[in-house]
Chain A
């Protein structure tokens, strides 16, 4: 397959920069696959898993919200945070999940809508990371 350039940027630096021939990401309107010579396209990403094919093999990872921008010559993903499946710290993710569940319950009792929203977001992120961890090679 024809390769094209992919850059994954996060506020902490360049996460990935190199060649790929197939990307699948989760946008707000569903999963989206990108191949070479895709039309120019921009979409918002939600918390989800992503995969990119590098040298014929898929690599998996977790992304928490961002933007994908496909240009004729390259694709840029702007992510709030991004991790390869193999790099995920499972213990931390599990702890974050438990903490978020506990917080969620507290906030629900206290009728704190804002708190519930934040806790739900954190819970989703933790679950996403745990699931992505299972995809590691």
Chain B
């Protein structure tokens, strides 16, 4: 009986922790969503501009749009800094590993988030950048560093493709691991913008385009980080919510067992007294 009582108490205190984590995650989630909203206008303006430039000339090409046979790839993988978020970390890492299954050489990796750093460090990967503890307070400067490293590697021919792995925030309950190809820039193209050669580019469309690409990639990485962070909080909130529910269930079950045992003990005692009295 004492054991049962002790278990009820320990489950109770675990429940308090999971409940607190749930609340923390939901407030962090709200903040992350706000941040994602703030960065959106800048990002959208960049996207329109890039597509307008790309559609302004027929024979448009720069180093960033150049499609080469893919020999080596660079993966930028965004995961969390902490566990206890259901499948959040393992899903995105699995997606990244599955994506290069057919490659002759493992891709180079830039890992964002402690869990991603730990994962790729232990395995046979060339880790060219690691950014633990970035997501909670993501700064534009950090994303710019990552974007610069990626674009430099691409234009130097060290890698032929750059892919970003992040977790898309669909809703507080649903988060999906996703990948987007950052380089070479494709899919931004003719027909997207309204422009038809009337805009004056100073000094030239190519120069302006090449100036925007690193910034655009920076924005994509930042959006990816912010969105992944929101997903992480969403996943953790859900995980903690069900943990709290489970704790409630366990406490109810244990209390039932405890009460039964107590009842049984009392009945036994009465029986003993009664049979003792009868014997007299």
Contacts and interface: CB of A to CB of B under 8 A. Distances in A.
B260 to A, nearest CB: 60
A13 B40 CA distance: 8
B275 interface: no
B144 A42 contact: no
Interface in B7-59: 38-39, 41-42, 45-46, 49, 53
Range of interface residues on A (Cβ < 8 Å): 20 to 34
Contacts of B143: 11
A27 B41 CA distance: 22
B202 interface: yes
A40 B222 contact: no
A27 B39 contact: no
B140 interface: yes
A14 B202 contact: no
B144 A14 contact: no
Given A11-B39, A42-B53, A43-B208, A76 B198 contact: no
A40 B52 CA distance: 12
Contacts of B53: 42
Given A27-B202, A42-B49, A14 B41 contact: yes
Interface stretch (B89-97, B117-125, B178-186, B211-219): B211-219
Given A42-B208, A67-B211, A12 B202 contact: no
A23 interface: no
Contact of A43 (B144, B201, B218): B201
B4 interface: no
Interface of A is mostly: strand
A41 B199 contact: yes
A11 B218 contact: yes
Contacts of B174: none
B140 A41 contact: no
Interface residues of B, number: 27
Contact of B200 (A42, A44, A65): A42
B276 interface: no
Contact of A78 (B42, B195, B201, B207): B42
Contacts of B215: 67, 78, 80
A57 to B, nearest CB: 26
B200 A67 contact: no
Contact of A9 (B42, B195, B208): B42
B140 A81 contact: yes
A67 B219 CA distance: 14
17 contacts: A9-B42, A13-B41, A14-B38, A14-B41, A27-B202, A39-B200, A40-B198, A41-B200, A41-B201, A41-B202, A42-B49, A42-B53, A67-B49, A69-B49, A76-B45, A78-B42, A80-B144
Interface of B: 38-39, 41-42, 45-46, 49, 53, 140, 143-144, 195, 198-203, 205, 207-208, 211-212, 215, 218-219, 222
Given A13-B42, A40-B198, A44-B207, 19 more contacts: A11-B219, A12-B39, A12-B140, A13-B39, A14-B38, A27-B202, A28-B202, A28-B203, A29-B202, A29-B203, A32-B202, A39-B200, A42-B199, A43-B208, A67-B49, A69-B45, A78-B46, A78-B49, A80-B140
6 A-B pairs with least C-beta separation: A43-B202, A13-B38, A9-B42, A40-B199, A44-B211, A11-B140
Interface of A: 7, 9-14, 27-29, 32, 39-44, 65, 67, 69, 76, 78, 80-81
